[in-house]
């Protein structure tokens, strides 16, 4: 598949790279240590259009294609995986869902401030007892006149501690399964909405994550996204793009660790020569590079299919599965190449190793990706 980039794609990729290396990379280690949400640089990302990259210009976005989005997320994630996931959630899970399923009024009132970066959004599907099993959610919405009364608790909400808007998935009937799921746009200033403590995490520590609680929270009916009972299909459609975003994040993390490893292998000497001249190190670098490039091609293919309006659930899942597991592989080898230095917090590969781990878990675990992939392959085989 030909991925010769056009001028617009190269320009946005280079803009993201320059911003990431100039403004994000210098503070990445410090915010990883402190866990502080990088609001100042996130707002700058919004001003540059990076938080509304694929949103239509009519709603405050840039109107770029999905391939451009992949390129930009890779560059941001190379500098800091926390910024990468903040960008991915805003673009893939929040803005995309609103643009695809929202009414004209919802796009005007909700999407525009999100796409321009004036507001921060979050996507809330997971609950304490239901992660991969999304049909088992317990957060309920009961119709009361022109409002829904929402009660329940959501967990592991990325950007939850700072979000102005939440795409909330809840159920009309906890015993009704997928067909009773609904999506609501929740203004976090509403009474009955509260946030739990910010979670202390292994990696992506500057990406704020928390529980959300709804206690008789009254959400207007006109804030419903799509139809009653249509929430599960909305959630799964949104996750297809989300998986492309996480695959891109994983590539960025792996690329950063690989570049550091090549440089260290050239600089570090053992047994009278640079370790880059030892075959054991050369083989590790070869495997790392091959996996990164395979991940990149899988992800760009899924993005290109999305741009053409083709069904891409299989391709997005393959990209997410392979890129995330490759990020773990690459960052593990990066630490091995660096030796004892790689185990030190003073070395960036230690941070990349921790950041890579989450990519196999959120927005669909590796096990869920394998389930999606195998079901689609068997369906196609049966059709043939």
Handedness of CA 93, 95, 97, 98 (dihedral sign): positive
Q: What is the 3-state secondary structure (H, E, C) of 45-65?
A: HHHHCCCCCCCCHHHCCCCCC
Q: Which of 7, 277, 363, 376 is catalytic?
A: 363
- C-alpha 264/C-alpha 256 separation (Å) is 12
Q: Could you give the CA distance from residue 309 to residue 348 in angstroms, rounded to a whole number?
A: 39
Task: Write out the two tokens for 187.
Answer: 């203004």
Region of residue 175 (left: phi > 0; alpha: psi -120 to 50; beta: else): alpha
Q: List, in order, residues 6 or more apart from 239 with CB less than 8 Å away.
A: 93, 363, 364
The radius of gyration of the chain from alpha carbons, rounded to an integer in Å, stands at 21
Exposure letters 248-265 (e unless 16+ CB within 10 A, then b): bbbbbbbbbbbebbbebb
Place of tokens 């495997």: 287
- Residue 211: active-site member: no
Q: Contact 87/248 with Cβ under 8 angstroms?
A: no
CB-based contact 59:107 (threshold 8 Å): yes
Spatial distance between the Cα atoms of 283 and 376, rounded to a whole number of angstroms = 34
In sequence order, what are the beta bridge partners of 218? 149
Write out the catalytic residue numbers: 363
């Amino acid at each position: 598949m030909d991925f010769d980039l056009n001028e617009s794609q190269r320009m946005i990729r280079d803009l993201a790279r320059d911003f990431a290396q100039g403004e994000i990379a210098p503070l990445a280690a410090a915010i990883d240590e402190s866990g502080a949400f990088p609001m100042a640089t996130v707002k700058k990302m919004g001003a540059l259009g990076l938080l509304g990259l694929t949103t239509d210009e009519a709603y405050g976005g840039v109107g770029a294609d999905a391939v451009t989005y992949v390129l930009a997320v890779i560059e941001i994630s190379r500098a800091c995986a926390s910024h990468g996931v903040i960008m991915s959630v805003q673009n893939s899970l929040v803005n995309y869902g609103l643009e695809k399923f929202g009414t004209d009024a919802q796009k005007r009132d909700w999407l525009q401030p999100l796409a321009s970066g004036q507001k921060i959004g979050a996507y809330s599907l997971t609950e304490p007892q239901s992660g991969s099993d999304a049909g088992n959610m317990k957060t309920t919405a009961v119709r009361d006149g022109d409002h829904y009364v929402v009660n329940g608790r959501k967990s592991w909400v990325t950007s939850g501690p700072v979000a102005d808007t939440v795409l909330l998935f809840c159920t009309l009937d906890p015993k009704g399964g997928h067909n009773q799921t609904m999506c609501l746009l929740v203004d976090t200033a509403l009474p009955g909405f509260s946030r739990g403590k910010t979670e202390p995490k292994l990696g992506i520590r500057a990406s704020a994550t928390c529980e959300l609680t709804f206690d008789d929270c009254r959400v207007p009916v006109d804030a419903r996204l799509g139809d009653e009972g249509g929430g599960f299909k909305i959630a799964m459609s949104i996750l297809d793009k989300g998986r492309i975003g996480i695959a891109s994040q994983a590539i960025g993390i792996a690329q950063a660790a690989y570049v550091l490893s090549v440089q260290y292998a050239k600089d570090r000497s053992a047994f009278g020569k640079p370790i880059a001249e030892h075959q054991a190190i050369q083989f590790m670098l070869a495997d790392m590079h091959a996996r990164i490039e395979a991940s990149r091609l899988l992800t760009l293919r899924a993005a290109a299919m999305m741009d053409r309006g083709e069904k891409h659930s299989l391709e997005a899942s393959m990209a997410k599965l392979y890129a995330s597991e490759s990020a773990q592989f690459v960052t593990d080898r990066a630490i091995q190449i660096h030796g004892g230095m790689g185990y030190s917090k003073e070395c960036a590969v230690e941070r990349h190793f921790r950041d890579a781990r989450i990519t196999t878990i959120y927005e669909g675990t590796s096990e869920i990706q394998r389930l999606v992939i195998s079901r689609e392959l068997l369906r196609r085989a049966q059709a043939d």
